């Protein structure tokens, strides 16, 4: 017996909403080990999908264009060269939020639209994942 039409449409709608609420993430630069650890961790989280790891800054603009991510996680503090490619991407892709990890200083800086930023210190992994999963408010 086939499932009823209303049941299929409800399941399809749920699937569509899940896809819409999934936030795409690009892991940029940093060490391969750190990118792979973040990738494995984020793969286990709900509503997050790592769509690409990029080891070189030259690949960032094409990855942003191709995947339209919610987040780009950069494994270095903001302001550490080379930050020029990031600054131009911030201007060109204002809806993308960049997270700069600074493991040695134990803080995380979020930047978007070239002039907005938030800084967090001493985050747990659970708190970090929660930041990535939360709904992004338009600014």
**Does residue 39 register a pLDDT over 60?**
yes
Please give the average per-residue pLDDT across 101-130, as a whole number. Answer: 84
Residues 102, 108 contacting (CB under 8 angstroms): yes
Span 43-84, pLDDT tens digits: 999 899 999 999 888 899 999 999 999 999 988 766 666 566
- The number of beta carbons lying within 10 Å of the beta carbon of residue 10 is 12
Tokens of 38: 């973040």
Q: What range defines the domain where residue 126 resides?
A: 21-133
Residues 121, 106 contacting (CB under 8 angstroms): yes
Whole-structure pTM value: 0.78
Residue 55 lies in a domain: yes
Question: Domains in the chain: how many in total?
Answer: 1
CATH of the domain at 45: 3.40.50.2300
């Amino acid at each position: 017996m086939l499932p009823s039409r209303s049941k299929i449409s409800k399941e399809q709608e749920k699937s569509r909403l899940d896809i819409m609420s999934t936030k795409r993430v690009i892991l940029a630069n940093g060490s391969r080990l750190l990118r792979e650890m973040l990738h494995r961790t984020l793969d286990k989280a709900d509503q997050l999908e790592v769509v690409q790891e990029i080891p070189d800054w030259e690949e960032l603009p094409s990855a942003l264009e191709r995947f339209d991510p919610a987040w780009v996680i950069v494994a270095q503090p903001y302001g550490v060269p080379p930050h020029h490619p990031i600054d131009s991407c911030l201007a060109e892709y204002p809806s993308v939020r960049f997270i700069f990890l600074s493991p040695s200083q134990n803080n995380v800086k979020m930047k978007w639209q070239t002039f907005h930023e938030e800084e967090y210190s001493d985050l747990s992994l659970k708190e970090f994942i929660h930041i990535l999963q939360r709904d992004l408010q338009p600014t």
